[in-house]
Amino acid sequence: MLVDYPGPWTPLLGRLDAHQIPLQNPILFWTFVLVSLGAATVLGAVTYYRSWGYLWREWLTSLDHKRIGVMYCLLGVVMLFRGFIDGVMMRTQQVMAVGPKSPGYLGAVHGYLPPYHFGQIYSAHGTIMILFAITPILVGIMNIIVPLQIGARDMAYPYLNAVSFWLTAAATGLVMISLFIGDFSHAGWVGLSPLTELAYSPGVGVDYWSWAVQIGSVGTTLASINIIATIIKMRAPGMSWTKMPIFCWTALSTSVVGLSSFPVFTAAVALLSLDRYAGTHFFTPGLGGNLMLYTDLFWIWGHPEVYYVVLPAFGILSEIIPTFSEKPLFGYITMAAASIAIGGVSWSVWLHHFFTMGAGPGVNAFFSIASMLVGIPTGVKVFNWAFTLYRGRVRFDVPMLWALAALVLLLTGGLTGMMLAMPAINYTVHNSVFVVAHFHNMLNVVGFACFGAINYWFPKVFGFKLDERTGKLAFWFFSAGTVVLFGSMYALGFMGMPRRIDYIPFTSWRPLLIGEEVGIFLFLIASYYMVKQLFVSIRDRAKNRVTTSDAWGTSRSLEWLAHSPVPFYNFAVQPHVNARDEWAWRREHGLGHVRPDHYEDIHLPNNTPLPLMLGACAFALGFGLVWRMYWLALVSLIGIVIIVIARSFQDDPGHTLPGAQIRQMEAVYPDIPREAGATGGMLGGVVARHALAAPRSRARDD
């Protein structure tokens, strides 16, 4: 009870009481019912198939970078869907609430969402999509691919890796539970100050947002540390910096950006929390606060964050395009340099997010030019990808389709980005949907790259390809949706439509709003085909089984040297790297099937439930702070400290896999996938039990 806030408070439950569960709201009520049913089905299935032990041993307590990566991706994809549903709701509200004569339902004056509900939906959409969907998917992909590409057995710090994941999961859990207990922030994913101050957002919504993003950004910072250290320390012998795959270069650049920018975000939001909890005046309009300080701090993180997500996407394109052009990447050195340059320039452009905040023309001009400079290395990348296609043999597999469409989106996004970088243009579209269209355009580059990456690396991780036909359908509907939705949105920007409005005052905007609704409908069809693709692929996994390590036949980098699916120890013997595209080099010189002549013992870390427990404590800490149940916050904080200290006394000795056993496993390896194809059982079970077989079960098989 440090500050004066409205509403009751009890020591035990803090601000929480029964009517905080919004059962009276039919939308939330039915969402709650559906989610509960879904959760009950999943939990029931796990119980029915007696998979709790398996889940606990092989996933929840695992320190294996591939499993953690898969869990990251799964978390990200689930949240991507949640964010997408938010998008559907927003578009539908806007198309329903046009003009003063439009009817209102469910208590809204116009449309079906009252302003504060709409505010929460768009805030949740932004926060989720950027921090809890795209970021986890990319971190997951980096987690899986980076160690494989540099020939490492795991990340530099496997335990820290699990901690990062569970912190991210805890943060995601906070965002999700805000649906059913209390409410979420209505002040945008950027946390518009001073709207986030207690005077203007007296509920718990902003607190949910602030604690979730703080916990999540700690997780992401730790993940960045891990990836940097992995790339610096764990590269296989012979892999000099200039032989490192380009995806690792982008992962390195992006992690440096993440490592240095996320702490600023944490600090900015922590100061905001101090305002809300301790009554300080950092960002209040009065009593010596400075709300522009928040805006600066936020975007000092916020702009690098954009590159944090876009750089790995560039790396993915740089892996996919050479594979399906049957050519090495054009201008490797330039591409690596451009990746680092983009990361560097990202630090000097943040002010372009508030050209309209009244800075002088000199300041605006400086940041305008700095922002345009980003276009140079980005342009270089586009041309280098184009020349990778030149004199190649271009195939249009599903990953390539996603990658090429991302390339085209990057061009249009670059065009509009150059517009926004000019203050004189920016003044007319700064807070309008034009900006929304621009950054959705750019984040769709990332999204397309992610879908490409999932299609591309899926056989590496799970041992079978994703279905081609449904994958292509998903791609075409998604692309069509992107064109229709964001084309309309760009056009609305030229009509001057502001972002974040839940009621549309001008009927002249209606036709294009209908266009957006059509676009979102196409996305809906695309997401149906995506689910279908996964379903069909798992059903027909025997048919789509990959029998060699090189799933696409023309892949280039080191991860394709490891078996498909990758065994838990990655490489039985660490490879020695001789070329930049090591796998392509071995394949082309007929060395693809040369196996090591003897196997040595491998030392691996033991599983541990401590990261999961740390995540649980972080969740409880966040929940306790949101509702101001200070006892809960204190208990979970002490819990975190105790777990950290306990771990330091534990000194995980790890376990050793004898060389003889590895020899046996390697010998039978190509046969295992075929066995798995014939086995039934539940989804995760098949995939993981046989594809990513664990030491214990494998030992029994032998």
**Considering beta carbons, is residue 160 or 635 the nearer one to other proteins?**
160
Nearest approach, Cβ of residue 501 and other proteins (Å):
4
**Considering beta carbons, is residue 429 or 688 the nearer one to other proteins?**
429
Task: Tell me how far apart the alpha carbons of residues 299 and 307 are, in angstroms, rounded to a whole number.
Answer: 12
Nearest approach, Cβ of residue 91 and other proteins (Å):
15
**Considering beta carbons, is residue 62 or 193 the nearer one to other proteins?**
193
**Considering beta carbons, is residue 78 or 518 the nearer one to other proteins?**
518
DSSP string, 478-526: HHHHHHHHHHHHHHHHHTTPBTT-SSB--GGGHHHHHHHHHHHHHHHHH
Nearest approach, Cβ of residue 32 and other proteins (Å):
14
DSSP string, 633-691: HHHHHHHHHHHHHHHHHH----EEE-HHHHHHHHHHGGGHHHHHHH----HHIIIIIII
DSSP 8-state class, residue 58: I
**Considering beta carbons, is residue 108 or 617 the nearer one to other proteins?**
108
CB distance 198 to 275 below 8 Å: yes
- Best CA proximity match to 255, nearest among 142, 173, 150, 358: 142
Contacts with 383 (C-beta within 8 Å, 6 or more apart), sequence order: none
Residue type, 550: D
Task: Tell me how far apart the alpha carbons of residues 640 and 218 are, in angstroms, rounded to a whole number.
Answer: 14
**Considering beta carbons, is residue 157 or 451 the nearer one to other proteins?**
157
Nearest approach, Cβ of residue 258 and other proteins (Å):
9
**Considering beta carbons, is residue 53 or 288 the nearer one to other proteins?**
288
Strand partners, 657: 602
**Considering beta carbons, is residue 330 or 627 the nearer one to other proteins?**
330
Nearest approach, Cβ of residue 541 and other proteins (Å):
27
Nearest approach, Cβ of residue 176 and other proteins (Å):
17
Dihedral angle at the C-alpha atoms of 279, 281, 285, 290, nearest 10 degrees?
A: -150
Nearest approach, Cβ of residue 495 and other proteins (Å):
5
**Considering beta carbons, is residue 138 or 492 the nearer one to other proteins?**
492
CB distance 500 to 599 below 8 Å: no
Nearest approach, Cβ of residue 331 and other proteins (Å):
5
Contacts 24+ apart (CB under 8 A), 199-207: 199/284, 202/5, 202/6, 202/7, 204/15, 204/20, 204/178, 204/626, 204/627, 205/120, 205/123, 205/178, 206/272, 206/276, 207/273, 207/276, 207/625, 207/626
Strand partners, 602: 657
DSSP 8-state class, residue 567: P
Nearest approach, Cβ of residue 67 and other proteins (Å):
21
